[in-house]
Amino acid sequence: MNNPPDSWDALWTDARIATMQAGSDVAYGALEDAALGIKDGAICWLGKRGALPAGAPRDGRVHSAGGRWITPGLIDCHTHLVHAGDRAREFEMRLNGMSYEEIAKRGGGILSTVTSTRAASEDALVETARRRLRALMSEGVTRVEIKSGYGLDLETELRMLRAARRLGETEPVDVHTTFLGAHALPPEFRERGDAYIDFVCERVLPAVADAGLADAVDAFCEGIGFNLEQTRRVFEAAGKHGLPVKLHAEQLSDMNGAALAASYGALSADHLEYVSEAGVGEMARHGTVAVLLPGAFYFLRETRVPPVEWFRRYGVPMAVATDCNPGSSPVTSLLLMLNMACTLFGMTPEEALAGVTARAATALKVDGKAGSLAVGKAADFVVWDIDHPSELAYHVGRNPCHRVVKAGLIVRE
């Protein structure tokens, strides 16, 4: 409800605003010929320009959007931005016919990233991740999740999470950190999965929690990752430290991980190409968000798509993210993911945009303050050079970002 303050910090006018408000009776929650007022980094007024109150600014605090569209700031709710090295050579080897097993025997695969990341300083991790983060921010991303998981030891996992926190302190973006110690088996624990989970739950996770470095805990539940019982142990340990959970689930096979995650009240289950209808039902029952990752699907040349129709039928919110990582999704364009979510997974442009705004906010448990535009929410938004919001999913390789506003301040022109 609009109760304008006595003084305003800024006013944006002559705009078309896609509020992305849930339950709106118009597509994208759109407002034509609209205005948006800002006070103390939050939205203090939102509505038709003709309804602006008498106390609205008329001076240099007024910004004209020039008839452009405004959307909430974009949210990338699943990334692995902090790591060292890349796997471009392995990509070439795979396309030349070498199997993943052969590459792994030569020291490749995830363990090659682990080796590089363990050898990198915290400053080096910050600077390489900063380049990836700024690529996302150039397309209107104002909030991002960053996972650990390429250290797989105590020292490097802590270093990765500290690097992620530093990015949020030095860039105009909100960073959510996720501890992903249960990502893969490090070489020192080869064929000793249970012992490694002991190490994660009893040594690493408590140290991460004590240092306040994680906002959530994740795991990779898969045949090439960790089984259900090992995943359950990680979730139990997270609960003891008051940390919510999420899960890489059903990417390559149906392990029933999504249902397990939902039973623990998981914020999200991510990937989900092989999730069963029963698993979708459990996600719906517990309010777990489906995070779809078309970049990994494309890069790995997968053929089984996530069951979007089931998510719709059961009312499971669908978020979309880059899964930016060196092995299966070297992607730093969230706008490209909008197009792929539509062309590869069959989402509508409105669903895709909601997937990187309102639904992504739910996946990070910040929907009360971000992901849509409403009075009282953060003044995080993007001004776009487009004629309709559907263009954000339509164009490939075009960046129509005109301005980015974070906490009421213009941070990108």
How confident is the model at residue 5, as a pLDDT?
73
Q: Which of 375, 386, 289 is nearest to 335 (CA)?
A: 386
SS3 271: strand
At 179-188, the pLDDT tens digits run 999 999 999 9
99 confidence band (pLDDT: 50, 70, 90)? confident
Centre a 10 Å sphere on the Cβ of residue 412 and count the other Cβ atoms it contains: 18
**8-state DSSP, 201:** I
pTM comes to: 0.97
How confident is the model at residue 101, as a pLDDT?
66
Centre a 10 Å sphere on the Cβ of residue 37 and count the other Cβ atoms it contains: 29
Residue 202 in tokens: 């009893």
SS3 329: strand
Cα distance between residue 181 and residue 157, in whole Å: 7
Residues 260-270, mean pLDDT to the nearest whole number: 98
- Residue spans of the domains in the chain: they are 10-71+372-412, 74-363
Q: Which CATH architecture has domain 74-363?
A: Alpha-Beta Barrel (3.20)
Q: Which of 368, 55, 364 is nearest to 355 (CA)?
A: 364
Q: Going edge to edge, which strands form the sheet with 268-271?
A: 74-76, 141-147, 174-182, 216-221, 247-249, 268-271, 289-292, 318-320
* % of the chain at pLDDT higher than 90: 91
CATH number for the domain running over 10-71+372-412: 2.30.40.10
Centre a 10 Å sphere on the Cβ of residue 32 and count the other Cβ atoms it contains: 11
At 339-379, the pLDDT tens digits run 999 999 999 999 999 999 999 999 999 999 999 999 999 99
* CB-based contact 113:150 (threshold 8 Å): yes
Cα distance between residue 195 and residue 186, in whole Å: 11
